[in-house]
Structure 1
Amino acid sequence: MTPSTFIAFFHDVLNAYNKMCEPILHEFDIPQVSFDILMFLNNNPELCTAQQISEFRKIKKNLVSVHVDKLVTAGYLQRGSVTGDRRKVLLSCTEKAQPILKAGLEMQQNFNQKLTRNIPEEQIHVYKEIIDSMAVNACQMLNE
């Protein structure tokens, strides 16, 4: 696979994911970045600060900040403090966010099923190992 084919593949996968998100975005009238933040917090409860969202989701810090403020104002997120470190703000989804999260989890499961349709389980396992190794290699390249 050439680098351009590889990049095009990941671009297509991201576009397909975003397309599958559209009905949820319209139903709940939220932008993609806000949805991505909610889903990230739901799927990664141990990574619950704006800095972690920015770092792991590769969303610019100012964009995360703007969307977090909007989500808090809308009642979908709440801020919490850390004892002993008042600079650190923990984010968590509220009860009001649960319908969005439920729809999002169903969509993610459906996306995964469609993306891996007709691929034997043993090949999916190998693919996951390869992607994990490539992710480590990419991080090493970024830090060189």
Structure 2
Amino acid sequence: MKSLFNIGILYKSMRLYNEMMKPLAKKYDCSSTMIDMLLFLGNNPEYKFAKDIVEVRGIKANLVSMNLEKLVDRGFVRVFASRK
């Protein structure tokens, strides 16, 4: 029963998070995914790659790619070639 309780808290937390992001998304004419990506990158500077957003945030790769392109076009993020 305890695991069901934790899932309920997680679900409610995610719903609350999404609701709180709506005004921010509207203000900057962005999708909630774009806002989520910006917040993730801003709060976690150790993650610098699109693959990090996919792996850690669990956002599908095609959505990360599409939204990252929009964020670049709007000047919210810059893309640099990685050095290997």
What TM-score, normalized to structure 2?
0.90
Residues 1:28 and 2:13 aligned together = no
The aligned amino acid for 2:8 is: A
User: How many percent identity over aligned positions?
Assistant: 35
Structure of greater relative contact order (alpha carbons < 8 Å, 6+ residues apart): 1
| Deviation string, structure 1 residues 39-75 (Cα, Å, up to 9, x no partner) | 1111111101000111110111111111101111111
Instruction: Give distance in 2, aligned partners of 1:22 and 1:34.
Output: 11
d(CA) in 2 for partners of 1:82, 1:63: 21
Q: Is residue 64 of structure 1 aligned with residue 64 of structure 2?
A: yes
Distance of 2:66 and 2:39 partners within structure 1? 17
* Aligned twin of 1:8: 8
The 3-state SS of whatever aligns with 2:78 is strand
Q: Gaps spanning 5+ residues in structure 1: where?
A: 86-144
Specify the SS of the correspondent of 2:69: helix
Deviation at 1:2, TM superposition (A): 3.1
Tell me how far apart the structure 2 counterparts of residues 6 and 42 of structure 1 sit (CA, whole Å).
Answer: 27
Computing the radius of gyration over CA atoms, which structure comes out larger, 1 or 2?
Answer: 1
Amino acid across the alignment from 1:29: D
* RMSD, aligned CA: 1.3
Aligned to 2:73: 73
Equivalent position of 1:55 in the other structure:
55
Structure 2 distance, partners of 1:9, 1:29, is 29
Shift of 1:82: 2.6
Size of the alignment, in residue pairs?
84
CA distance in 2, matches of 1:76, 1:14: 24
- 1:42 aligns to 2:38 (yes or no): no
| TM-score (norm: length of structure 1) | 0.55
